[in-house]
Structure 1
Amino acid sequence: MRGNIQERGPRPRALVVLLLLLGFQLGALVAPAHACGCGAMVPDRNASISVGRETSVVDWDGRTEQIVMRFTVTSDTPRAAWIMPVPGRATVDLADGALFDELVRIAAPEYRERHYFWPRGNDWPFDDVDGAGAAPPGAAARDDGVGVVGRERLGDFDVARLTATDPDALGDWLDENGFEMPAGLTGDLEPYVERGWEYVAVRLAPREEGAVLTGTLDPLRLRFASDELVYPMRLSRRADTAQALGLFVLADHRMEPRSAIGGSEPEVTYAGRVTSPGGELGRLTGGKERFLTVLDQEFPDPSRINGDHELRAAAEDTPFRRVVWDDDLLTLGGVPVWLLTFVAVAAGASAAVLRGVRARRRGRPVEPPAPMRVPPRVP
C-alpha cells in the first residue's frame, strides 16, 4: 500500500452512503470535518488529519469527464472517508501514479543559464560572511432518500456510488448509526442535492492491519458524463488549514477557471498540446491529442471557498512554459571575470604610475601647466 485512504462528504446522503461504507463497525467515526479539494474529510473521533497537497488530472472531451485524484496526507488515524459530488452517474477504478509522473515531465520548466558580473552573497569573498555558503537552489434504493448505485472493493478502498434527494437524510443516517454531522456540512451539500448530482463515497479499508492515513495515497479515477468541465471544490471550505491544489487539465483547448472561487488567482505553469499514443496518458485520453493546461492555486482561508471550479476555453490556445534561470557568476578559466578586470585595471594603473616615476628619475623636464586665460572685461 503506497498510502492510506480518506473520504469526503459533499451531501448528507453521500455521507449517509459513506457511513454505509463505513458500516464495518466504524463506530463513532466523525468528529471535526477536514476538507481537501473536492470533498469533506471525515476522520475518526479524536483523530487528526491534514492534507498537504491535492493533485488531480482532469480530462474532458466535451461529453465525458475523467478525474484522477491523488492526495498526500498526514494523520494518526487508520479510519477515514471522503465523498465527492459528481454531476452524473460515475464509474470508479484505480489509476496508476505513473500518469502524474508523465505529466510532470511534460510540464517541466525550461532551465536556462545566465551570468552576472559582480559577486553576490553566495560568491567569494562574501560566501563565508555567515559562516556557511548559501543553500542550493447497483443496489436497491433506500426509502430514506439515499440510494446505493454500486459498491466495489478497489485495492485498499471500499467505494460506494450513491444518490440522494434530501440533504437532511445524511444527518439522520449518521445519528442513527452513532455518528456526528460536522457543523455546516449539510448546508454545503444542499446545492448538489438541488441540482440532482450523485456522489462517490470512499472509505479506507486497508488490507494491512494497523495502517494509517499517511503519505501519498493510491490514485482513483472517476468517469462521468458532463457537458461542462467542472472540478468540485465547495466542500473544501470546511478545512481548518490552508489548502493547495494542482490541476492538470486536458481538453480540446487551453482552459481557465471562471473565477478564483475564494482562493488566490490560479497560476498557469504550463500550456501546450500533447499527444501520447501509449503510456498512462494515452490510456486516459484514448491516444487523442489534448491541450494540457496546468494550474496551481492556494487557498489560505478555505472558509472563503464559494463554489466549484468551472473551467472554460481561454480566448486563445497560447502555449506557455515556465523558465527557471540558473544564475552563475561570469568566469574565465574558472576565475571570476570581475576579479580579472580588477586585477587588469590595477595593473594598468600601477604601470602608469611606474612610468611616471621613471620619467622623473631620468630628469625629463616636466611641462608646466598652461597659464589660465582671463577673458577681457567688457565695459
Structure 2
Amino acid sequence: MRGTHRILTTIVALLALQLGSLVAPAYACGCGAMIPTKDQRIGVDREESAVHWDGRTETVVMRFNVHGNARNAAWIMPVPHRADVTLGEPELFDALDRLTEPEQRDRFYFWPREGDWPFDLGHGDGAGAPPPGAGGVGVVGRERLGPFDVARLTATDPKALGTWLRANGFELPEPLTDALQPYVERKWEYVAVRLAPEEKDGVLQGELTPLRITFASTELVYPMRLSRLAKSAQTLGLSILSEHRMEPRSPIGGDAPEVTFAGRIERPDGAVARLAGDRPVHLTVLEQEFPHPERIDDDHHLRAVADTPYRQVEYTDRLLTVGGGIPVWLLTVGGGLLLATLTTLLVVRVTRRRPTAGAGVRSAV
C-alpha cells in the first residue's frame, strides 16, 4: 500500500526530542541538521526530497513538514561544492506522486466474503540579518527567500561552524559538531538556513515552502551522515531524475534500500520539466529504513544500473461475476444442485420403469 509515504515520491523523516527539568532544544537530522533556539524544540514529521543529476550538476529540492514550538530554527546541509539556493515548487511533489502512482488491477475471488451476499446482511452502503560570520567561517552569500534566511558557508573546522551558529543565536549540539568533521576534511561547503515564520510571534508549523539547492558534482551523492545523530528509527524517501535508473552503492548502515518505482518519463512537463528539462529522463524512487541510525557510516553514493522498469501494483479484490453481476459461485452451486436434482429424478424414473424379478412369468399347474 502507498500509505502516507506519498509523498513521493519520497523522502527523510527525522526526530530527536530531549526532555529535562525544562523543555530542552531538540533537533532533527535528515541530509542536514535542523537546530532550534535554546529552550525550544522542533521535529520533522516528513521530509520529501527530489534530486536531479545530469552527470555534472546536482539539484536537490526539499520540503519539510515540521512541528514543535520553535519560532525560528537553523537548518544545515553539507554540499561537495558551492551551492546556489532558490525557492522550489510545491507542485513538483504532486507531479512526482502522479507519475509514480501504482498500477491498479482487479483480482477476482470465487467464494463470497464478508460484505458479499449472503454475508452482507446488516451492512449499509460503503462510502532581519545577523552578523556575517564568526572566526573561521566564510559567508559566501546570503539571501532572503520567503520564510528562509539562507547563508552559504565555508568552514575550516566544525567548531568554527558551531561558533558561527551560536553567534547568530542558535544552539549546536556537540555531537553534531563532531559529525561535521568528515565534511570539513573533504573541504565541503555548507548551506545554512534560518527558518522563521513570516507572522510575528508565529511558530514553525506544518508544510514549509520547498528549497532548491544546486551544486556541481561528478557523482550523485546524497548527504546522510548527520542522520546518525537521530534518537529514533528513521526513513529515507528519495526521488531521483537522471539519465539512467540509479541505486545506492551500499545500505550505509540501514536496511536494504527498496525501489518503489523505476521508469522512463518520455515527456516531462510542468514542475518536473523545470527541474529535469523536457527531454526523456529516468525516474527512480527509493525507500529505506534505518532502525538504528547510529550505524549510519557514510553518505549515499548512487550508481547507474540496468534500466529495468518497475511499478508497484495495487490490487482490488472483486467477487467473480458474469451476466451483469450474477456471482459465478451461485451459478456453479445452483447448477450443481440442479444437476444433482435432475440426476436423482432420472434415476428414480428409470428405477420405477424397470420390471421386478419374475414379472410376466406364468406359474405352471
TM over 0.5: yes
Instruction: Tell whether 2:92 aligns with 1:99.
Output: yes
Which segment is superposed worse, 347-356 or 171-180?
171-180
Question: How far apart are 1:338 and its partner, in Å?
Answer: 1.1
- Counterpart of 2:12? none
Distance 2:98 2:356 in 1: 73
Aligned partner of residue 55 in structure 1, secondary structure: strand
1:239 Cα deviation after fit: 1.8
CA distance change for structure 1 residues 132 and 42 in 2, over 3 Å: closer, same or farther? farther
Alpha-carbon distance between aligned partners in 2 of 1:177 and 1:68, rounded to the nearest angstrom: 25
Task: Tell me the equivalent position of 2:354.
Answer: 364
Aligned AA (2:224): M
SS of residue paired to 2:183: helix
Match of 1:370 in 2: none
Q: 76-85 or 171-180: which moved more? A: 171-180
* d(CA) in 2 for partners of 1:176, 1:283: 37
Please say if residues 65 and 226 of structure 1, whose CA atoms lie closer than 8 Å, have aligned partners that are also in contact. Answer: yes
The answer for the alignment partner of 1:32 in structure 2 is 26
Q: Is the 8 A contact 1:253 1:291 kept in 2?
A: yes
Task: Determine if contact 1:236/1:305 at 8 Å carries over to the other structure.
Answer: yes
Instruction: Evaluate the alpha carbon distance shift between residue 174 and residue 290 of structure 1 in structure 2; reply closer, same or farther with a 3 A threshold.
Output: closer
Structure 2 counterpart of 1:220, from 188, 204, 211: 211
Q: Secondary structure at the match of 2:271?
A: helix
**Aligned partner letter, 1:221:** R
Tell me which amino acid in the other structure corresponds to 1:297: Q
**In 2, are the aligned partners of 1:262 and 1:305 still within 8 Å (CA)?**
yes
Residue 162 of structure 1: how far off its partner (Å): 0.6
Residue matched to 2:280: 289
Maintained 8 Å contact 2:25/2:36: yes
Q: Which is further off, 350-359 or 163-172? A: 350-359
CA distance in 2, matches of 1:286, 1:257: 24
Which moves more between the two structures, 87-96 or 290-299?
290-299
Assess, with a 3 A threshold, how the Cα gap between structure 1 residues 124 and 322 changes in structure 2: closer, same or farther: same
> Does the CA contact (< 8 Å) of 2:131 and 2:168 recur in 1?
no
Q: Show the counterpart of 1:49.
A: 42
Please tell me whether residue 235 in structure 1 is matched to residue 226 in structure 2: yes
State TM-score, norm by structure 1.
Answer: 0.79
Shift of 1:163: 0.6
Structure 1 residue aligned with 2:202: 211
User: What is the SS of the residue equivalent to 1:101?
Assistant: helix
Question: Partners in 2 of 1:325 and 1:54 — Cα distance?
Answer: 28
CA distance in 1, matches of 2:83, 2:169: 29
- Report the Cα offset of residue 320 of structure 1: 1.8
Separation in 1 of the partners of 2:356 and 2:328? 38
Alpha-carbon separation, structure 1, partners of 2:126 and 2:236: 27
| SS in structure 2 of the partner of residue 354 of structure 1 | helix
Aligned residue for 1:181, secondary structure, equals: coil
1:278 and 1:350, CA in 2 relative to 1: closer, same or farther beyond 3 A?
closer
Would the alpha carbon gap of residues 304 and 324 (structure 1) be closer, same or farther in structure 2, given more than 3 Å must change?
same
* 1:270–1:209 CA distance, 2 compared to 1 (3 A): same
| 1:75 equivalent in structure 2 | 68
CA–CA separation in structure 2 for the residues paired with 1:207 and 1:178: 18
Q: Distance in 1 between matches of 2:172 and 2:238?
A: 30
From the superposition, tell whether residues 185 and 277 of structure 1 become closer, same or farther in structure 2 (CA, over 3 Å): closer
- Residue of structure 2 aligned with 1:190, choices 175, 181, 187: 181
Aligned partner (choices 281, 285, 291) of residue 300 of structure 1: 291
Q: What is the rounded CA distance, in whole Å, between the counterparts of 1:162 and 1:69 in structure 2?
A: 19
The alpha-carbon distance between structure 1 residues 212 and 176, as it changes in their structure 2 partners (threshold 3 A), is closer
- Please give the TM-score of this superposition, normalised by the length of structure 2: 0.82
Give runs of aligned pairs for residues 301-316 of structure 1, distance below 5 A.
301-314=292-305, 316=306
- How many Å apart are 1:312 and its aligned residue? 0.8
Give the secondary-structure state (helix, strand or coil) at the position aligned to 1:344.
helix
* Mean CA deviation greater in 300-309 or 256-265: 300-309
Which letter maps to 2:263?
A: G
Instruction: Name the counterpart of 2:336.
Output: 345
Secondary structure of the 1:104 match is helix
Matched position secondary structure for 2:307: coil
Q: Aligned partner of 2:316: which letter? A: D
Aligned residues: 333
Q: Is the 8 A contact 1:53 1:243 kept in 2?
A: no
SS class of match (2:329): helix
Listed as ranges, the matches of 1:239-278 within 5 Å are 239-276=230-267, 278=269
Q: Residue in 1 aligned with 2:321? A: 331
> Take 2:82 and 2:311, find their aligned partners in 1: how far apart are those partners?
36
User: 1:159 — aligned with what?
Assistant: 150
1-side partners of 2:125 and 2:311: how far apart? Answer: 28
CA distance in 1, matches of 2:240, 2:355: 83
| Gap runs ≥5 in structure 1 | 1-28, 368-379
- Separation (CA, whole Å) in 2 of partners of 1:263 and 1:322: 22
